[in-house]
Structure 1
Amino acid sequence: MGVTVPDIDAATEFFEAAFDAVVLYDMRRRDEMPNSSPEAHGYLGIPSTMAQGAMRMLALPEGPGLELFEYLGPEQRYAAHPSDLGWQHLAIYADDLDETLAQVEAAGGTRNSDPRDLRGDEAGAGNRFVYTRTPWGSTLELVSYPTPQPYLVYAPRPKWAPWPMPDDVYPVPAPAVH
């Protein structure tokens, strides 16, 4: 996953404090010349007035890599709202939603509301979510679903979860229901 941030060091501190992320390596350091070549504009799809600055790879515990990018130039805009076209938000699974939310807020993030119960095909005891904003305005969803969700009975495959696969939860094949 890649995210553009206004300050790579501040963003690193946020992800370290909020999610126990660790720095793996820097692909481009701040002391290196920003990449404003026509080639970079082409393969990155960025405006010709922008330059690729620092790049850093983080790792989230038991999760994916997270690439942080800094871009320099006059055409940079603020983070999109979830209602804007394009990728909407990043969801991070939390074993303890309240604890993770407290870490996000202590690291400088803000919540949009109090945590809410997941509904419908995602419902279950303790299954909850909350939308938050990073210090630079990107939307992060914190989600926890410790109870197997109803969709597992009929869906062709599960979404990622830290608990057993559906065959372990539902050992008898369930009839297809739509």
Structure 2
Amino acid sequence: MKTIALTVATAALGTDAFADSSLPGMTGTDHVGFTVPSVDEAVTFSQDVIGCNVFYPLGPFSGGDSTWMADHLNVDAKAEIPTMQLVRCGYGANFEIFEYTAPDQDTKLPRNSDIGGHHIAFYTTDMDGAVSYLQDKGIEVLGNPTTMTDGPSAGETWVYFLAPWGMQLELVSYPDGKAYEAEYDERLWDPRP
């Protein structure tokens, strides 16, 4: 339903809807890719805990004796991708979940404060229920939900949690919108149904 609304809204705005973008033809985010120690574990967690839809696997991939992996993916030339899987969670972008092997692989996950640090946030319409659900599943939730009361994000409640392999994830909720909406004509992408 949201896809249809976005398509209708884009058509109503005309083909120049994203004309101010510096990247020719860019219309939005297609996917986010991340590497995990085990694709099977990540897919099970994504499906059974988060509730994502699982789509197709790809792989294996390697450059053999060439430098293809280094030239195209900026990884060690001997790196291999035994498998990867595509999933989609609710109204969000697709995820490409990779499992790599590489001679120089760093298995330490970056923190948000590290260069390359990252997290993925999931929107929920029931913050308390979602936190309890995660805790009941044995998922580590970091602290209690924080509600923003000042600034452009006022109205948003958020809390971090960790995937079983340590990846940082977040729950967010802003059922009545965020304060910035009163000052800006444009809107951030909104996952609310």
Q: Shorter-chain TM-score: which interval?
A: 0.7 to 0.9
Q: Which runs of 5+ in 2 are unaligned?
A: 1-31
Q: Distance in 2 between matches of 1:47 and 1:103?
A: 40
Please point out which of 28, 44, 66 is paired with 2:95.
66
What is the TM-score of this pair, normalised by structure 1? 0.79
Are the structure 2 counterparts of residues 106 and 27 from structure 1 closer, same or farther at C-alpha, using a change threshold of 3 Å?
farther
Q: Which gives a bigger RCO, structure 1 or 2 (Cα 8 Å, sep 6+)?
A: 1
1:25 Cα deviation after fit: 0.4
**RMSD in angstroms over aligned alpha carbons?**
2.1
Q: Which residue of 2 aligns with 1:26?
A: 57
Q: Which residue of 2 aligns with 1:114?
A: 144
Paired amino acid for 1:100: A
Q: Which residue of 2 aligns with 1:148?
A: 177
- Contact 1:19–1:103 under 8 Å retained in 2: no
Paired amino acid for 1:96: D
1:134 Cα deviation after fit: 1.1
Paired amino acid for 1:18: V
- Contact 1:21–1:60 under 8 Å retained in 2: yes
Q: Which residue of 2 aligns with 1:137?
A: 166
- Contact 2:69–2:77 under 8 Å retained in 1: no
What is the TM-score of this pair, normalised by structure 2? 0.73
Please point out which of 37, 48, 54 is paired with 1:17.
48
- Contact 2:33–2:98 under 8 Å retained in 1: yes
- Contact 1:14–1:108 under 8 Å retained in 2: no
Matches within 5 A, 1:1-178: 1-28=32-59, 32=60, 34-37=61-64, 38-77=67-106, 78-120=108-150, 121-124=152-155, 127-163=156-192
Q: Which runs of 5+ in 1 are unaligned?
A: 165-178
Paired amino acid for 2:62: N
Paired amino acid for 1:143: V
For the residue of structure 1 that corresponds to 2:76, the secondary structure is: coil
1:118 Cα deviation after fit: 2.0
Are the structure 2 counterparts of residues 71 and 154 from structure 1 closer, same or farther at C-alpha, using a change threshold of 3 Å?
same
1:109 Cα deviation after fit: 3.1
Identity %: 29
Q: Distance in 2 between matches of 1:106 and 1:42?
A: 45
Are the structure 2 counterparts of residues 115 and 79 from structure 1 closer, same or farther at C-alpha, using a change threshold of 3 Å?
same
Report Cα offsets for 1:14-50 as digits up to 9, x if no partner.
111222111110122xxx4x51442122111112342
1:105 Cα deviation after fit: 3.9
Report Cα offsets for 1:72-99 as digits up to 9, x if no partner.
1342222110000125211111111223
Q: Distance in 1 between matches of 2:169 and 2:95?
A: 13
Are the structure 2 counterparts of residues 162 and 46 from structure 1 closer, same or farther at C-alpha, using a change threshold of 3 Å?
closer
Paired amino acid for 2:58: M
1:163 Cα deviation after fit: 4.9
